[in-house]
Structure 1
Amino acid sequence: MIDIQTFMLALGVGNTAFALLMAGYMRGAAPNPALRTWMWARLSSGLAQICCWVAPHVGLPIAEELAAFGWVGGVALELASYCVFFGFRNWRRILAPATVAALIIVAAAALAQASREQMTQVVAVIVALFASGAAAILLRPQADAPLLQRVIGVNDALFAIAIWIWMAVANGGVGMFNTNPVYGFAYLASYLLMIVNGFGFLLLCKLKDDQRMQRLATIDGLTDMLNRRAFFERAESALQTAVRLRKPIALMMLDLDHFKQLNDGFGHACGDEALRLFADTARATLRENDVIGRLGGEEFALAMPGTSLAGAQYAAERLRIAVAEAPALTCAATYRMTVSIGLVMIDPNEELTAALARADHALYAAKTGGRNRVEIGAPLLRRA
């Protein structure tokens, strides 16, 4: 038989252990404000639960009051950690006044010398409200939300529901697991919250860090396009798929005209603006399944799966015109950005690097032929 005091001790030790675990994890990891806030939330909740266990043994009312403040602080910090994790703006304007109001309510109850049952009810209502807020954040409509986020959100929602049921049926009293199933449901929900949310948020932060590292490894930081390595991987995959399905695939090399003069005359910051403008223009012009990446400097490559020569030539001309009609740079109003393009069709038996070399020759022809033009490269010569 487990009474609520023993259960509070188990929760307190568990939450404090989670806080120490997270503190150790963060010492060897990159700074993570959300995880640091979550650590303090777990520590606050753990100390509050330990105070709940200590209070009847020492007979000090201040232990009960510290427990109440610790509970409120813990759930408020937990909600704050979600706000930090998702990068919400102006969340302090809502959460800070709500937390202050909750603490004032707890202080007023303590000054009014509320009984232990009454203080428990006050804190339970506050905790349920904050848990409901956390569930709303985690379960809000998001197309790319990971399953782990939904699991934590459902857990918060179940915890809030458990508290409301406990308040309605048990009326804020205390009891044993085997004497009232309502207590068992509420206590088990609390323990589930500690385990799932404790490990869950840690894994959620790690998942976000992994995604960030994956992005850094594949995306060019300036243009938000694929970097050289990622482009070759995606283009090679597109080529293999095209060969397997016996579909055509076009390949282009693209180079911004007079880019060196822009950098020399207006500075590298202006050149960076031109690269970003080109990237935005290309994204607005090309299809979603087109593979474009920055190979280095002002040089880009584009693979267009399932596109014939005529279709690729039309797409290249459309991109060339869109670049020429793009808004003037804020740093160099006299510079009009244009792009030269070399276009080839990849032969089914051709390596990607060989096709890129042919596209580069076509690009050179476009450059020497006057720039701001599309040049179609010669087809691959087959050996007799």
Structure 2
Amino acid sequence: MTVVRPQGREGVDLWALGLLAHGGCYVLYALRGHAPDWATVVLANALLSSAFALTLAAVAQFHARPLPWWRMGLPVAAALLLFGWHVGDYRARQMSAGVVLPLQLLLTLWALWRPQAPGQPRGAWLISLSMGIEVLLMGGRGWLALSGRLDNADLLQLSPTQAVLFMMAFVTIILASLGFILMTKDRADAANQHLAAYDALTGVVNRRALLQVLEREVAQAARTASPYALVLLDIDHFKAVNDTRGHLAGDQVLRHVSQVLRARLRGQDLLGRYGGEEFLVLLPGTDLAGALQVAEGLRQAVQDAPCPWSGGSIAVTISLGVCAARPHAPGCAEALIDAADQALYAAKQAGRNRVQHGPAPQCAAGMS
């Protein structure tokens, strides 16, 4: 699973522009009575609608989707038209705001969760909570205006209803922004964890993560007296590929071999890049006979699948060393790797493209 996104494409810039539009809206609200109505009513509410449009765009960009231009532009155009038409009618303006603005927020919530929920749900839930509150506030305000129960006062006049709505609007803006920041942080953390555990070239786990899993599983096998096996393999004549075809061809061979190996392994097995052209396969709960069968299947699969390259193909083979044992001590991982390494050396000495197994280390009991 790919979690790394291109820098600057998380939607943060668009969200920040939305906050600026929000701020501009409230500055114009504050100038009510000191500036023309077209600025403090029409332009102010168009900025508020634009802020919600930019929020929708930020969510779309966070999900790496195309910007929904018509869903962004139509509500802003409607806000300009409705507030321009009803510039002198406070009640009509509140009814218009109670329809257009909640609709924009609902479109944003839909984009946040559909067609697929975000992989970073903590921030998404915070955004949903804050926007849900704002939908209720704005929709309730429009309903009060429609029913004639909204006091006929501008936003910044300190009636109890207006004061509560004003403060709640600021709280929901802050909560939604915190939620978006949390989503981007969670994604960055997931990307860092992925980079720390996976090899960037082949997509399999790297040596550090592989050894951590090995230590844990060997300790588990020692506690339960279960068999455990390793397969250490090396791509034959890999240096010749780099020398004759170039390092890009060598990279392609590494990717190709890792794909072939992963396709042949069981769900509980783990493949990792051990170093250079070497791969290590962890086979929990596997005895020697089973490990040899797996290793031979891997060898045959790689031999039968030449690596595509530059309109042709590169023949690839691997040599494999197998070690299988019943670990007696949790600290047996290094000894198992050493035994598999010795078996791999024997396979190369015997002519490559073959499987060899070696004796179990002293910290484990061998299996026939």
Query: TM-score, normalising length from structure 2?
Result: 0.84
**Aligned runs of 1:303-314 on 2, under 5 Å?**
303-314=282-293
Say which of 40, 64, 72 aligns to 2:17.
40
- Identity of counterpart residues, as a percentage? 29
Of 347, 353, 356, 2:334 maps to: 353
Greater shift, 96-105 or 366-375, is seen at 96-105
Q: What residue is the counterpart of 1:131 in the other structure?
A: 105
CA distance in 1 between partners of 2:234 and 2:228 (Å): 20
Query: In the alignment, which residue of structure 2 is the partner of 1:363?
Result: 344
1:118 pairs with 2:118: no
What code does the residue aligned with 1:217 have?
A
SS in 1 for 2:271: strand
Higher percent of residues as helix: 1
Query: Match of 1:38, as an amino acid?
Result: W
Whether the 8 Å contact between 1:344 and 1:379 is mirrored in structure 2 is yes
Contact 2:98 2:140 in 1 (8 A): no
In the alignment, structure 2 segments of 5+ residues that lack a partner are 1-6
Q: Which one-letter code corresponds to 2:192 in the other structure?
A: M
Q: 1:39 to 1:172 in 2, by over 3 A?
A: farther
Deviations, residues 349-374 of structure 1 (Å, cap 9, x unaligned): 35322221111111111122222222
Q: Structure 2 CA distance, aligned partners of 1:267 and 1:280?
A: 21
Distance 1:143 1:31 in 2: 18
Cα distance in structure 2, aligned partners of 1:97 and 1:45 = 21
Please state whether the residue corresponding to 1:255 is helix, strand or coil.
strand
CA distance in 2, matches of 1:55, 1:83: 34
Kept in 2, the 8 Å contact 1:139–1:154? The answer is no
SS of structure 2 residue aligned to 1:171: helix
State whether structure 2 residue 29 is matched by structure 1 residue 52: yes
Residues 206/334 of structure 1: CA separation in 2 closer, same or farther (3 Å cut)? closer
Contact kept in structure 2, 1:52 and 1:67, CA below 8 Å? yes
1:125 shift after superposition: 2.5
Aligned pairs for 1:213-292 (under 5 A) are 213-292=192-271
CA contact (8 A) 2:233 2:318 kept: yes
**TM alignment of 1:1-384, pairs within 5 A:** 31=8, 33-58=10-35, 60-88=37-65, 91-92=66-67, 95-114=68-87, 115-140=89-114, 141-142=116-117, 144-171=119-146, 174-175=150-151, 190-331=169-310, 333-346=312-325, 347-349=327-329, 351-381=332-362
Residues 372 and 162 from structure 1, CA distance in 2 versus in 1: closer, same or farther, beyond 3 angstroms?
farther
- The 1:185–1:171 alpha-carbon spacing in structure 2 relative to 1, beyond 3 Å, is farther
Quote how far apart the aligned CAs of 1:105 are: 2.2
| TM score, norm. by length of structure 1 | 0.81
Letter in 1 for 2:346: A
Cα distance between partner residues in 2 of 1:171 and 1:328: 70
Post-superposition Cα deviations, 1:307-350, rounded to whole Å, max 9, x if no partner, equal 22222222222222222222541237342222211110243335
Residues 84-122 of structure 1, C-alpha deviations (whole Å, 9 max, x = no match): 11212xx22xx2223332332233335535434333433
Q: Which residue of 2 aligns with 1:5?
A: none
| Unpaired stretches in structure 1, ≥5 consecutive residues | 1-29
Deviations 1:192-220 (A, max 9, x none): 42232121111221121122122222211
Q: How many residues align?
A: 348
Note closer, same or farther for the CA distance 1:172–1:40 as it changes in structure 2 (3 Å cut): farther
Q: CA RMSD in A?
A: 2.8
Q: 1:218 to 1:203 in 2, by over 3 A?
A: same
Cα distance change on mapping 1:256 and 1:132 into 2, 3 Å:
same
Match of 2:205, as an amino acid?
A: L
* Separation in structure 1 between the aligned mates of residue 147 and residue 205 of structure 2, nearest angstrom: 57
Residues 121 and 172 in structure 1, CA contact (< 8 A), matched pair in contact too: no
8 Å Cα contact 1:55-1:61 kept in structure 2:
no
Q: Deviations over 1:29-53 (max 9, x none)?
A: x756521221111121122123223
In 2, Cα distance between the equivalents of 1:102 and 1:143?
25
**AA paired with 1:277?**
H
